[in-house]
């Protein structure tokens, strides 16, 4: 006779299948609406409608699950609580760590090894650990968590909560979904929901086995590593299949972003994991696979500690990989012998090099792109260092006051020495207004710093421009840039 712990719970699997089918129908409906009705929306409605679309996957799963699970339903407040906890952990820990601390969007696509390793160690490990934490430190000790299949159920709920935050963030950062992009927007929402929910279910399976079957201590860390690896590999592969080179100059341009292959990949992954988990649950009901003795509090705590330790080690390795990627530099030398070292990922602009102006900028910096500029200003060879540097500072201030909005020179400090030369430093700020014919964004405050070095009849001016949120880190990059310069 099958024990309660080994029940198969057909309602969960039927809800899983219905979720996959329902989300694909959701995509089809969105495409149909675009083709048949070509809807239009006021600008004020783009964000609210986008947010509504982002939460629909979770609503679909909950509706299907509770429609099927009528005989012995899980308490709704428990399922919702785990889902909300997954969302809260994503908001409070996951997104800040991945986007702000690890700065994943700025370096992950450097090359294929970096895409794969970074996606696994930084994104995959953190996301799957937080889903694990949402279950392990909430419902795990509840009397409602009394069968193996509950791990899959609550892991899926945590994954959907996490997916909802990812989708809401995407909508908010995009300012909503434009009607003409409804189909592509819904596809991206569905891809995230399918993958995060399926991997949450996989992590939940390992949690349940860890609770009821007392496997080896490495079981849960290994399960988390497997889910993280699938997470990262999917992120890389989805990027490969959705992006193709853009043909320019041909009669019909091709290439760009195509979300359909990633949707097919997500549906295949979700279906495969659902079938695998169902088979594993079926096997747990066979003779010889009955429940064993309770693993004990010590072993459970040791397993949780080991899982946390593995997560910290993996995430730390990901940060070290990031530092290695960001430390790679390129060199540029002009005919006079001046040489600069700039980050490999940055773009260089030498269009005005004949005028003594070179710029390098970070295209991946959020908001205003961090930019470092080098220019030469002629001064009288007979002028004192103090007068030459003051003349250069005044020239810069007058030019910027004409070209930049609300430019302010905040501070000027002379009497400096840089590279053994007389130098001065200045700090300034201005307002950058990105609004244009096709852009409607709020103006941003840009902070800047000048380092001016006098050599003979020239003043070399190194200038930093960065948005307020990027400025502290940009200053360190700027300092390293100036120190690495070789003057002619």
- Model confidence pLDDT, tens digit, residues 453-464: 999 999 999 999
pLDDT for 403 beyond 70: yes
345 within 8 A of 364, measured Cβ to Cβ? yes
pLDDT of residue 252: 38
pLDDT of residue 430: 93
Q: How far apart are CA 15 and CA 190, in angstroms?
A: 16
267 within 8 A of 306, measured Cβ to Cβ? no
Q: Which uninterrupted H or E stretch holds 257?
A: strand 256-257
pLDDT of residue 438: 36
Q: How far apart are CA 366 and CA 395, in angstroms?
A: 30
pLDDT of residue 345: 84
Ordered DSSP codes for 418-439: ETTEEEEEEEEEEEE---BTTB
> With bands split at pLDDT 50, 70 and 90, how would you rate the model's confidence at 444?
confident
> With bands split at pLDDT 50, 70 and 90, how would you rate the model's confidence at 118?
very high
Local structure of 318: helix, strand or coil:
helix
Q: How far apart are CA 152 and CA 270, in angstroms?
A: 13
Q: Alpha carbon of 422 to those of 222, 342, 376, 426, 452: distances in Å?
A: 59, 24, 15, 14, 8
Show the domains of the chain with their CATH numbers.
4-326 (no CATH), 330-484 (3.40.1000.10)
Local structure of 75: helix, strand or coil:
coil
Encode 383-415: b = buried (16+ Cβ within 10 Å), e = exposed.
Answer: eebeebbbbbbeebbeebeeebeebebeebeee
Give the mean pLDDT of 382-408. Answer: 92
Q: Alpha carbon of 424 to those of 366, 448, 478, 487: distances in Å?
A: 30, 14, 15, 17
Residues 6+ apart with CB under 8 A from 96: none
CA neighbours within 13 Å on the CB side: how many for 140? 22
For the stretch 299-345, pLDDT in tens is 888 999 999 999 999 999 999 999 898 888 889 998 888 899 988 88
355 within 8 A of 373, measured Cβ to Cβ? no
> With bands split at pLDDT 50, 70 and 90, how would you rate the model's confidence at 448?
very high
Strand partners, 417: 422
pLDDT of residue 77: 85
Q: How far apart are CA 59 and CA 73, in angstroms?
A: 17
Dihedral sign from CA coordinates of 396, 401, 404, 410: positive
> With bands split at pLDDT 50, 70 and 90, how would you rate the model's confidence at 257?
low
Q: What percent of the chain has pLDDT over 70?
A: 89
Q: How far apart are CA 368 and CA 467, in angstroms?
A: 5
The tokens describing 34, both together, are 């675009």
Range in 68-77, 125-134, 145-154 with the lowest mean pLDDT: 68-77
Give the mean pLDDT of 131-148. Answer: 91
Q: How far apart are CA 282 and CA 160, in angstroms?
A: 24
Q: What is the largest CA-CA distance in the chain?
A: 101
Give the mean pLDDT of 128-140. Answer: 95
Residues 6+ apart with CB under 8 A from 424: 389, 390, 392, 393, 412, 413, 414, 415, 416, 450, 451, 452
111 within 8 A of 93, measured Cβ to Cβ? no
pLDDT of residue 309: 97
Give the mean pLDDT of 373-385. Answer: 92
pLDDT for 278 beyond 60: yes
pLDDT for 195 beyond 50: yes
């Amino acid at each position: 006779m099958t024990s309660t712990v080994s029940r198969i719970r057909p309602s969960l699997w039927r809800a899983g299948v219905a979720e996959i089918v329902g989300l694909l129908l959701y995509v089809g409906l969105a495409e149909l609406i675009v083709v048949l009705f070509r809807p239009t929306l006021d600008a004020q409605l783009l964000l609210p409608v986008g947010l509504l679309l982002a939460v629909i996957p979770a609503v679909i799963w909950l509706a299907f699950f509770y429609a099927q699970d009528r005989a012995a339903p899980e308490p709704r407040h428990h399922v919702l609580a785990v889902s909300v906890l997954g969302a809260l952990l994503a908001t409070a820990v996951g997104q800040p760590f991945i986007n702000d601390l690890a700065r994943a969007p700025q370096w992950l696509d450097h090359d294929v090894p970096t895409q794969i390793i970074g996606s696994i160690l930084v994104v995959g490990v953190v996301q799957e650990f937080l889903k694990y934490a949402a279950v392990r430190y909430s419902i795990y000790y509840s009397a409602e968590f009394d069968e193996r299949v509950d791990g899959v159920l609550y892991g899926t709920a945590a994954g959907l909560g996490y997916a909802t935050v990812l989708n809401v963030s995407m909508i908010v950062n995009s300012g909503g979904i434009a009607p003409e992009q409804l189909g592509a927007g819904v596809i991206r929402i569905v891809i995230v929901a399918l993958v995060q929910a399926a991997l949450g279910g996989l992590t939940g399976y390992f949690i349940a086995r860890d609770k009821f079957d007392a496997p080896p201590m490495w079981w849960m860390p290994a399960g988390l590593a497997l889910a993280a690896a699938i997470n990262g590999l999917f992120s890389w592969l989805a990027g490969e299949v959705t992006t193709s080179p853009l043909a320019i100059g041909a009669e019909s341009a091709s290439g760009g972003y195509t979300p359909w292959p990633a949707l097919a990949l997500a549906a295949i992954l979700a279906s495969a994991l659902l079938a695998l988990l169902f088979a594993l649950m079926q096997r747990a009901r066979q003779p010889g696979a009955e429940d064993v003795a309770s693993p004990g509090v010590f072993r459970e705590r040791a397993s949780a500690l080991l899982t946390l330790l593995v997560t910290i080690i993996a995430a730390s390795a990901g940060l070290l990989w990031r530092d290695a990627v960001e430390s790679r530099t390129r060199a540029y030398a002009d005919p006079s012998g001046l040489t600069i070292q700039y980050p490999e990922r940055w773009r260089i602009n030498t269009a005005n090099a004949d005028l003594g102006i070179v710029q390098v900028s970070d295209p991946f910096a959020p908001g205003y792109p961090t930019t470092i500029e080098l220019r030469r200003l002629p001064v009288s060879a007979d002028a004192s260092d103090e007068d030459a540097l003051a003349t250069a500072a005044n020239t810069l201030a007058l030019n910027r006051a004409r070209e930049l909005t609300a430019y302010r020179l905040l501070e000027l400090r002379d009497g400096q020495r840089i590279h053994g030369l007389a130098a001065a430093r200045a700090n300034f700020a201005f307002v950058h207004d990105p609004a244009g014919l096709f852009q409607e964004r709020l103006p941003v405050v840009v902070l800047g710093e000048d380092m001016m070095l006098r050599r003979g009849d020239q003043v070399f001016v190194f200038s930093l421009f960065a948005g307020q949120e990027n400025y502290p880190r940009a200053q360190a990059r700027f300092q390293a840039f100036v120190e690495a310069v070789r003057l002619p």
